Amino acid sequence: MTAQPRHDDERTRIREAMDRLLTGQPTASDGSLTAKALAAEADVHRMALMKRHADLKTVFYERVRTETTQVPESENKLRKAVAQLRQTVKDQQAEIEELRQRVTHLTLAAAVLTQTEDTSPGVSRPLGPVPDNVVPLRPLG
Protein backbone atom coordinates (compact mmCIF):
# COMPACT_ATOMS: atom_id res chain seq x y z
CA MET A 1 0.00 0.00 0.00
CA THR A 2 3.00 2.31 -0.02
CA ALA A 3 2.69 2.82 -3.77
CA GLN A 4 -0.57 4.78 -3.55
CA PRO A 5 0.66 7.57 -1.23
CA ARG A 6 3.83 7.94 -3.33
CA HIS A 7 1.66 8.10 -6.46
CA ASP A 8 -0.54 10.77 -4.87
CA ASP A 9 2.54 12.69 -3.70
CA GLU A 10 3.94 12.68 -7.26
CA ARG A 11 0.64 13.97 -8.63
CA THR A 12 0.57 16.76 -6.05
CA ARG A 13 4.17 17.75 -6.86
CA ILE A 14 3.36 17.75 -10.59
CA ARG A 15 0.35 20.02 -10.09
CA GLU A 16 2.41 22.42 -7.97
CA ALA A 17 5.19 22.37 -10.56
CA MET A 18 2.63 23.22 -13.27
CA ASP A 19 1.57 26.28 -11.33
CA ARG A 20 5.17 27.42 -10.80
CA LEU A 21 6.08 26.99 -14.47
CA LEU A 22 2.97 28.74 -15.73
CA THR A 23 3.53 31.69 -13.41
CA GLY A 24 7.17 31.94 -14.44
CA GLN A 25 8.58 31.00 -11.03
CA PRO A 26 10.54 27.78 -11.55
CA THR A 27 12.68 26.51 -8.69
CA ALA A 28 14.27 23.33 -10.05
CA SER A 29 14.16 23.61 -13.85
CA ASP A 30 15.01 25.99 -16.67
CA GLY A 31 11.42 27.27 -16.71
CA SER A 32 10.61 26.14 -20.25
CA LEU A 33 7.08 24.95 -20.84
CA THR A 34 7.97 21.37 -21.72
CA ALA A 35 7.29 17.96 -20.22
CA LYS A 36 11.00 17.66 -19.46
CA ALA A 37 10.96 20.88 -17.43
CA LEU A 38 7.73 19.86 -15.71
CA ALA A 39 9.26 16.55 -14.63
CA ALA A 40 12.41 18.29 -13.38
CA GLU A 41 10.38 20.93 -11.57
CA ALA A 42 8.23 18.27 -9.87
CA ASP A 43 11.28 16.08 -9.11
CA VAL A 44 9.61 13.19 -10.93
CA HIS A 45 11.30 10.95 -13.45
CA ARG A 46 10.31 12.05 -16.95
CA MET A 47 9.10 8.57 -17.91
CA ALA A 48 6.87 8.49 -14.82
CA LEU A 49 5.31 11.72 -16.06
CA MET A 50 4.86 10.27 -19.54
CA LYS A 51 3.49 6.88 -18.42
CA ARG A 52 1.87 7.07 -14.98
CA HIS A 53 0.80 10.69 -15.15
CA ALA A 54 0.09 11.17 -18.86
CA ASP A 55 -3.21 12.82 -17.97
CA LEU A 56 -1.38 15.53 -16.01
CA LYS A 57 1.03 16.07 -18.89
CA THR A 58 -1.98 16.58 -21.17
CA VAL A 59 -3.51 19.01 -18.67
CA PHE A 60 -0.20 20.89 -18.53
CA TYR A 61 -0.09 21.33 -22.31
CA GLU A 62 -3.73 22.44 -22.37
CA ARG A 63 -2.97 25.01 -19.70
CA VAL A 64 0.08 26.20 -21.65
CA ARG A 65 -2.17 26.84 -24.64
CA THR A 66 -4.95 28.57 -22.69
CA GLU A 67 -3.03 30.45 -19.99
CA THR A 68 -0.06 31.64 -22.02
CA THR A 69 0.52 32.89 -25.51
CA GLN A 70 3.13 30.19 -26.04
CA VAL A 71 2.64 27.05 -28.06
CA PRO A 72 4.14 23.89 -26.53
CA GLU A 73 7.61 23.06 -27.86
CA SER A 74 6.48 19.65 -29.10
CA GLU A 75 3.80 21.31 -31.20
CA ASN A 76 6.34 23.78 -32.62
CA LYS A 77 8.62 20.92 -33.62
CA LEU A 78 5.75 19.11 -35.32
CA ARG A 79 4.68 22.25 -37.18
CA LYS A 80 8.25 22.77 -38.44
CA ALA A 81 8.46 19.14 -39.56
CA VAL A 82 5.14 19.43 -41.39
CA ALA A 83 6.29 22.61 -43.13
CA GLN A 84 9.53 20.95 -44.23
CA LEU A 85 7.66 17.90 -45.50
CA ARG A 86 5.22 20.07 -47.44
CA GLN A 87 8.14 21.88 -49.08
CA THR A 88 9.76 18.55 -49.93
CA VAL A 89 6.54 17.32 -51.55
CA LYS A 90 6.21 20.59 -53.49
CA ASP A 91 9.81 20.31 -54.73
CA GLN A 92 9.33 16.67 -55.73
CA GLN A 93 6.12 17.48 -57.60
CA ALA A 94 7.95 20.19 -59.55
CA GLU A 95 10.77 17.76 -60.34
CA ILE A 96 8.28 15.10 -61.47
CA GLU A 97 6.58 17.61 -63.77
CA GLU A 98 9.93 18.64 -65.23
CA LEU A 99 10.84 15.00 -65.84
CA ARG A 100 7.49 14.36 -67.53
CA GLN A 101 8.10 17.28 -69.88
CA ARG A 102 11.59 16.01 -70.58
CA VAL A 103 10.21 12.53 -71.43
CA THR A 104 7.68 14.12 -73.79
CA HIS A 105 10.40 16.14 -75.55
CA LEU A 106 12.68 13.12 -75.84
CA THR A 107 9.83 11.01 -77.21
CA LEU A 108 9.06 13.66 -79.82
CA ALA A 109 12.76 13.95 -80.73
CA ALA A 110 13.01 10.18 -81.11
CA ALA A 111 9.92 10.17 -83.30
CA VAL A 112 11.37 12.89 -85.54
CA LEU A 113 14.70 11.12 -85.81
CA THR A 114 13.14 7.78 -86.71
CA GLN A 115 10.45 9.14 -89.02
CA THR A 116 10.91 7.79 -92.56
CA GLU A 117 9.27 8.22 -95.92
CA ASP A 118 8.50 5.25 -98.12
CA THR A 119 9.47 6.03 -101.71
CA SER A 120 9.38 2.45 -102.88
CA PRO A 121 7.87 -0.67 -101.35
CA GLY A 122 10.04 -2.28 -98.69
CA VAL A 123 12.69 0.46 -98.65
CA SER A 124 12.74 3.12 -95.95
CA ARG A 125 14.61 6.35 -96.50
CA PRO A 126 15.15 9.30 -94.18
CA LEU A 127 13.12 12.46 -94.75
CA GLY A 128 16.06 14.51 -95.81
CA PRO A 129 19.76 14.59 -95.33
CA VAL A 130 20.96 12.74 -92.26
CA PRO A 131 23.25 14.85 -90.06
CA ASP A 132 26.74 13.51 -89.34
CA ASN A 133 26.01 13.05 -85.62
CA VAL A 134 22.96 10.77 -86.17
CA VAL A 135 23.49 7.05 -86.35
CA PRO A 136 20.61 5.23 -88.10
CA LEU A 137 18.95 2.47 -86.11
CA ARG A 138 18.52 0.33 -89.22
CA PRO A 139 20.64 0.22 -92.33
CA LEU A 140 19.67 2.64 -95.07
CA GLY A 141 18.70 0.79 -98.20
Which amino acid is residue 28, in one-letter code? A
CA distances from 99 to 47, 54, 106, 114 (A): 48, 48, 10, 22
Q: How far apart are CA 42 and CA 1, in angstroms?
A: 22
Please report, in tens digits, the pLDDT of each residue of the chain (141 residues total). 456 777 789 999 999 999 999 988 999 888 888 899 999 999 999 999 999 999 999 999 889 888 887 777 778 889 999 999 999 999 999 999 999 999 999 998 888 887 755 444 555 555 667 677 777 666 655
With vertex at residue 98, the alpha carbon angle to CA 95 and CA 100, rounded to the nearest 5 degrees, is 110
Q: Is the dihedral of CA 47, 53, 55, 60 positive or negative?
A: negative
The SS3 call for residue 116 is strand
Q: Which residues sit opposite 123 in a β-bridge?
A: 120
